[in-house]
């Protein structure tokens, strides 16, 4: 992994986490649509959500490092403030 991190940077992990999170959301929607709800569908739903939640968290936490890399030096505080505000705002609904 250090070779991948050195060549592609933290962005590859963020993008990969976002893709997996998107797939998990689609899977959760399909499981939630199972009629009638069963004990097995609940177990599957809980397994998917708890197995993929750490990836969603990592992709959100690593966005700050990516912003630091691409933002001009005089705009870093503004970019980090907007990033943190959006993260806190979205946390209220999730």
Q: What is the pLDDT of residue 17?
A: 80
* Side-chain half-sphere CA neighbours of 56 within 13 A: 15
Q: Can you tell me the distance from the alpha carbon of 54 to that of 61, in angstroms, rounded to the nearest whole number? A: 10
Q: Can you tell me the distance from the alpha carbon of 76 to that of 59, in angstroms, rounded to the nearest whole number? A: 19
* pLDDT value at 78 more than 80: yes
Taking the complete model, does pTM exceed 0.85, yes or no? no
Give residue-wise pLDDT tens across range 40-73.
Answer: 999 999 999 999 888 777 777 777 777 887 889 8
Tell which wins on pLDDT, 4 or 21: 21
Q: What is the pLDDT of residue 39?
A: 94
Q: Can you tell me the distance from the alpha carbon of 19 to that of 3, in angstroms, rounded to the nearest whole number? A: 21
Q: Torsion-angle region of residue 9: left (phi > 0), alpha (psi -120 to 50) or beta? A: left
Domain residue extents for the chain: 2-91
Please, what is the average pLDDT of the chain? Answer: 82
């Amino acid at each position: 992994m250090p070779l991948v991190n050195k060549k592609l940077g933290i962005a590859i992990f963020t993008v990969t986490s976002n893709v997996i999170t998107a797939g998990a959301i689609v899977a959760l929607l399909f499981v939630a649509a199972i009629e009638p709800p069963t004990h097995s569908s609940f177990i599957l739903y809980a397994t998917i959500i708890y197995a993929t939640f750490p990836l969603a968290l990592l992709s959100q936490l690593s966005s700050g490092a990516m912003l630091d890399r691409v933002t001009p030096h005089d705009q870093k505080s503004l970019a980090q403030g907007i990033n943190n505000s959006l993260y806190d705002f979205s946390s209220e609904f999730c």
